[in-house]
Homo-oligomer: A and B are copies of this chain.
Amino acid sequence: MTDAREPIRVGVLGARGRMGLEVCKAVDAADDMELVAMIGGGDWLFNAADAGAQVLVDFTKPDVVMDNVHWAVDQGINMVVGTTGFTEKRLERVRGWLSHKPGVGVIVAPNFGIGAILMMQFAARAARYFESAEIIELHHPRKLDAPSGTAGHTARLIAAARAEAGRGPVPDATSEELPGARGADIDGVRVHAVRSAGLIAHQEVLFGTQGETLTIRHDSLDRSSFMPGVLLAVRAVVDRPGLTVGIDDLLD
């Protein structure tokens, strides 16, 4: 399908960071893309424009990403942004910039892992049919926050789906609890964070009803797992003007 089209011309911002390097490799290896610019900290952004980039992928830092987006939108270059720190306020500012550039697209995603996104979609869909729902996330012991952002997000999706289906609280007769044993409570969904050497990034969502359980588990081994999602976003953004948050809608 793509061979009738010209390759998409892609530039990478934050190209010397760990994620940036992975993106460069992935773009370079994709048949339907051409890597036209690798911009690191201190490099001149205009190189990307000079190289004719149609899409910029940004894995930089929260303190520079807004300037990058502003500049790219201004130049009429589409963006795929994986840099963290996007609050609703920041998203609103991006929307403002884009309102003056109707043909330009920006995709901002907190997570490009297709497996993680499917896990969350499936969890949201299963939630309405089961009495119980509980989350166990498991990560390496150097992680600072517990539970993970993905686990928190999944819990809120489940809680919303349960509410919509008219489900009450999950059954739980616990009357004698050692503090913390039942995990953290996020909108009524219990979340447990396991930390162990030898782990990387894993999450299990358990649903149960009379006589059966359904478990959805995602295991992420390294950041290369984000690349299929980044490439999916690069392909999508050229035909998707305006702001898109998350890559959920790009699946199907």
Which residues of B have CB within 8 Å of A138? 206
Which residues of B have CB within 8 Å of A179? 180, 184
Minimum CB–CB distance from A17 to chain B (whole Å) comes to 17
Which residues of B have CB within 8 Å of A133? 196
Which residues of B have CB within 8 Å of A126? 118, 122
The answer to whether A194 has its CB under 8 Å from any CB of chain B is yes
Chain A interface size band reads 35 or more
Minimum CB–CB distance from A114 to chain B (whole Å) comes to 5
The answer to whether A224 has its CB under 8 Å from any CB of chain B is yes
The answer to whether A188 has its CB under 8 Å from any CB of chain B is no
Query: Is the pair A194, B221 in contact by a Cβ cutoff of 8 Å?
Result: no
**In the complex the two chains form, what is the Cα distance from A190 to B21 in whole Å?**
35
Which residues of B have CB within 8 Å of A170? 141, 195-196
Query: Is the pair A214, B119 in contact by a Cβ cutoff of 8 Å?
Result: yes
Which residues of B have CB within 8 Å of A221? 198, 200, 211-212, 221
Q: Which of B184, B193, B208, B227 contacts A199 (CB 8 A)?
A: B208
0 or 1 for each of A213-250: is its CB under 8 Å from B? (1 = yes)? 11111111111111110000000000000000000000
**In the complex the two chains form, what is the Cα distance from A195 to B136 in whole Å?**
12
**In the complex the two chains form, what is the Cα distance from A134 to B138 in whole Å?**
10
The answer to whether A12 has its CB under 8 Å from any CB of chain B is no
Q: A141-B173, A146-B182 are in contact. Are A197 and B132 (CB under 8 A)?
A: yes
Residue contacts A-B, CB under 8 angstroms, 25 given:
A115-B214, A122-B125, A130-B198, A136-B192, A142-B171, A145-B175, A145-B177, A146-B176, A146-B177, A147-B181, A177-B184, A180-B180, A183-B183, A183-B192, A183-B194, A196-B206, A197-B208, A197-B209, A198-B209, A198-B221, A210-B225, A211-B223, A214-B217, A215-B219, A221-B221
